Amino acid sequence: MEKTVNQRAWFLVLPVFLIVAFSAILPLMTVVNYSVQDTFGNNQFFWNGVGWFKELLDPHTDLGERFLASVGRNLLFSAIILAIEVPLGIVVALSMPRQGWQVAACLVILALPLLIPWNVVGTIWQIFGRPDIGLLGYVLNRIGFNYNYVANDLDAWFTVIIMDVWHWTSLVALLCYAGLKSIPDAYYQAAQIDGASRWAVFKAIQLPKMNRVLLIAVLLRFMDSFMIYTEPFVVTGGGPGNSTTFVSIELVKIALGQFDLGKAAALSLVYNLIILIVCWIFYTVMTNAGADRPAKESVK
C-alpha cells in the first residue's frame, strides 16, 4: 500500500501538542529552570547550577537535613501503614460474607471512607482526637492515657497512622475481596476433601490466588502514603515540631512558606524522581508477574 503524504495531519495533532505543552511540559521546565537558580524576590534570578541538588542530598546542610529527615519519616510512615493495612485488609476481606444482601451492605460500608474528601478526613480526625471535645481524645484521657496529639510526638504519629488505616484499609480489603471472589468453588471443595485446615486453605489457596491483587494494593498504598499531604497537614500541620512533617509538607513549607523557589524546585524534582522510580519498579514487577505464567511445559 502506498503511503499518502498529507501535511494536514499536523493540524490535527497540533492542538493536543499545545495543550500538553502548556499543561505539563512548560510548568515542568519552569521548575527545572527554578531549580538551578536562586532568587531574592523582585523577579531577580541568579545562576546556582546544581548547588541546590548538592545541598539537598548533603545531610550536613539545613536543606539536606530537612529533606532527608522528611524522607525518612515518610518511609517509616509508609512501612507502618503497610504493615497494618495489608494484613488487616486481608482479614477484613476473609471475614466478609460471600453472598446475600450482606455483601452489598459490607461493600457500601467499606467504600464510605474512600469517598470522603481528604481534607474532610483530616478534619474529622482533628476533631475526633481533641482531648477537650473529641470522642477519641476525651475517652483516652478519661481512661488514663495522657493523649494529646498537638503536644506529643508519639500521639501525633498514632493519630496520623490510625487515620490512614481508617481511610485506606477499605481499599486493600476491597481488592483482596475481589481476588478471593475469583477463586472457583472447586478449590475449596478440593481442600475440604484433602482435609486441609482453615490455615492450610489460606496458605495454599487464598494467599497465592490473591498475590497479584495484593501486589497492586501494596504498591498503590506505598505510592499514596509516600505522597500524603492533606490529612496530616489538617490534623497536625506537620507538628509537633517537625515530627509529622512528611516530604510534601516540607516541600510546601519551603516553596510557599519561605518562598525559596530554587530549593523547592530542586526538592520537587528529586521527589518526583523517587516516585517515578517506584512507578517503574511497580510496572516491571507487574509485567514480570504476568509474563511468567504462560511458560508451560508439556507432560505426557
Partner 1 sequence: MARIDLVDLAHSYSGNDAPPESFALKPVTMTWRQGGAYALLGPSGCGKTTLLNLISGIVTPSRGKILFDGVDISHATTQKRNIAQVFQFPVIYDTMTVGQNLAFPLKNRGVAPADIDKRVKQIADLLDLTPYLNRKATRLTADAKQKISLGRGLVRSDVAAVLFDEPLTVIDPELKWQLRSKLKALHRELDLTMIYVTHDQTEALTFADTVVVMHDGRVVQSGTPAELFDKPAHTFVGYFIGSPGMNIIPAQVGGHAARIDGHTIALSRRYNHLPSGAKIEIGVRPEFVDIAAPAPGLLSANIERIDDLGRIRFARVRVGEAKLAARVPPGFSPSGDTAGLVFDPSHVHVYADSLLVEGAA
Binding site for partner 1 (CB under 8 A): 184, 186-187, 189-190, 192-197, 200, 203-205, 207-209, 293, 295-300
- Shortest distance in whole angstroms from residue 208 CB to partner 1: 4
- Shortest distance in whole angstroms from residue 285 CB to partner 1: 18
- Shortest distance in whole angstroms from residue 289 CB to partner 1: 12
Nearer to partner 1, 30 or 189 (CB): 189
Q: Are 165 and 172 in contact (CB under 8 A)?
A: no
Q: How far apart are CA 238 and CA 128, in angstroms?
A: 18
Max intra-chain CA distance, the chain: 83
Nearer to partner 1, 71 or 94 (CB): 94
Q: How far apart are CA 237 and CA 123, in angstroms?
A: 12
Nearer to partner 1, 202 or 229 (CB): 202
Nearest residue to 73 (alpha-carbon basis) of 263, 270, 272, 248: 248
Alpha-carbon distances of 152 from 23, 38, 146, 244, 250, rounded to whole Å? 42, 36, 9, 11, 20
For residue 260, report the phi and psi dihedrals to the nearest 5 degrees: -90, 80
Nearer to partner 1, 71 or 201 (CB): 201
CB neighbours of residue 278 within 10 Å: 14
Nearer to partner 1, 15 or 184 (CB): 184
- Shortest distance in whole angstroms from residue 193 CB to partner 1: 5
Alpha-carbon distances of 4 from 1, 12, 14, rounded to whole Å? 9, 16, 19
Alpha-carbon distances of 91 from 85, 94, 218, rounded to whole Å? 10, 5, 15
Nearer to partner 1, 31 or 196 (CB): 196
Nearer to partner 1, 204 or 252 (CB): 204
Grid cell 476491597 in the structure block, residue: 174
- Shortest distance in whole angstroms from residue 292 CB to partner 1: 8
What SS3 class is residue 3? coil
- Shortest distance in whole angstroms from residue 184 CB to partner 1: 7
- Shortest distance in whole angstroms from residue 171 CB to partner 1: 25
For residue 46, report the phi and psi dihedrals to the nearest 5 degrees: -125, 140
